Structure 1
Amino acid sequence: MVKFFQHTFAYDHPWENVSYAFWLRYPNPFASHVLCADVIDRSINDDGVLTTTRLVLKQGKLPKWFPQQFVKNSEAYVIEESLVDPKTMRMVTRTRNLNHVRIMQVEETQTITPHPVNPDMTTVKTEARIISKFGWGMAQRIEMFGESNFSKNTAKARQGMKHILQMIREKRLRERMGFMQPQTA
């Protein structure tokens, strides 16, 4: 059995800010489980589409009921592949964990586009598949745990993005205010 998760959320910020904030979202106070994120490949094609591959190291949590002897280290590497098309104003990211995949594989896709009605807002659609091949009658329980955990982490990720977006807004406001103040010799 596979668990599916889907959620759509709108940020009160334009697409340019949300797609920029995506790259700045680590570290933030709502993502203490993210230990590091490194760009391993980045290129721009002839159409101006930015392709990036990042490796993210996250600290996971095992449920108390899970047999601890099957996981020596709860850290997980996640590969994140993204495409940013500034012409169509569309950003698509795909992530999946690289280790512990037999226990639980999480595959997530996010699509970031301008809000269909309000151009000052941005829509983020998140879809995920949570799959366990663990066996011993535990796969469904693991998938349910993964779905619940993913839902909670999505809420934290939104808070983290809001935090970064607010920082961007404040920085731009300070920059504008600095330019507006009279210069003294």
Structure 2
Amino acid sequence: MHYFSQLFQYDHPWSHVVIGMWHKYPNPHCSHVQTIDVVDRSVDPETGIIRTERILGCTQKAPGWIVKFFGGSDDAFVREISFINPATQEATITSVNLSLSQFATCYESIRYSPTTDGRHTTFHQTAEVQARMALWRSVADKLENWLVQRFEQNAQLGKVGFTDVLKNLWEAKQQQLAHS
């Protein structure tokens, strides 16, 4: 099993970041995310927690040795479930790959929470990658290493892309308000 973790602070309040979550894709930095389909959305009438389940369709060029060994295609699907709690100002997102999950799984967890001053938002992301090939440990290690490297590359692109999305959403709005 291999792990990835990063901690970052966005220069936007929590409410802006949560609204921005729904505008993250498509963006030029994350061109591998092709489609986003909302499967279910509900609001708990007692707590006000918003639960959303989505399927993300992605394309990524897998190395030849992976395609040769495991088969498959460049198309991949990810199941994402988010919970937004307006009362506690916490947003969590968990995701897991659906494609080729019989060979390897990647469990991702993201948490957005406001900083103590309320002007910024803390982003904490973790991922756990596990190959499911106990008999072939060397192949499993190689696969896990490749998956973590790919995940880290995409995570960095995602952070840059989301920063741009937030900037485009909110700085343009602030400029409009300033000129009004």
Question: What TM-score, normalized by structure 2, do the two folds share?
Answer: 0.92
2:95 maps to 95
What is the rounded CA distance, in whole Å, between the counterparts of 1:67 and 1:45 in structure 2?
43
For residues 92-151 of structure 1, what are the alpha-carbon distances to aligned partners after superposition, in whole Å with 9 as ceiling and x for unaligned? 0000011201232111000100024x3211001101110111453300110011111111
Aligned amino acid, residue 167 of structure 2: Q
What is the rounded CA distance, in whole Å, between the counterparts of 1:44 and 1:66 in structure 2?
41
Structure 1: runs of 5+ lacking an equivalent? 181-185
Query: How far is the alpha carbon of 1:71 from its aligned partner?
Result: 2.1
What is the rounded CA distance, in whole Å, between the counterparts of 1:61 and 1:119 in structure 2?
40
* 2:14 equivalent to 1:19: no
* 2:162 equivalent to 1:158: no
**Secondary structure at the residue paired with 1:166?**
helix
* 2:49 equivalent to 1:49: yes
Please list every run of at least 4 consecutive aligned residues from structure 1 whose deviation after the TM superposition is greater than 6 angstroms: none
Structure 2: runs of 5+ lacking an equivalent? none
How has the CA–CA distance of structure 1 residues 177 and 156 changed in structure 2, closer, same or farther, with 3 Å as cutoff?
same
Q: Once the two structures are aligned, what percentage of the paired residues are identical?
A: 28
Question: What TM-score, normalized by structure 1, do the two folds share?
Answer: 0.89
How has the CA–CA distance of structure 1 residues 154 and 41 changed in structure 2, closer, same or farther, with 3 Å as cutoff?
same
1:127 maps to 126
2:61 maps to 61
For residues 157-181 of structure 1, what are the alpha-carbon distances to aligned partners after superposition, in whole Å with 9 as ceiling and x for unaligned? 0011111001112331243145x2x
For residues 43-100 of structure 1, what are the alpha-carbon distances to aligned partners after superposition, in whole Å with 9 as ceiling and x for unaligned? 1102111000011101123124335252231211111000000110000000001120
Indicate the structure (1 or 2) with the bigger Cα radius of gyration: 1
Relative to total residues, which structure has the larger helix share, 1 or 2? 2
2:35 maps to 36
1:10 maps to 9
1:114 maps to 114
RMSD over equivalenced CA pairs, Å: 1.5
2:144 maps to 143
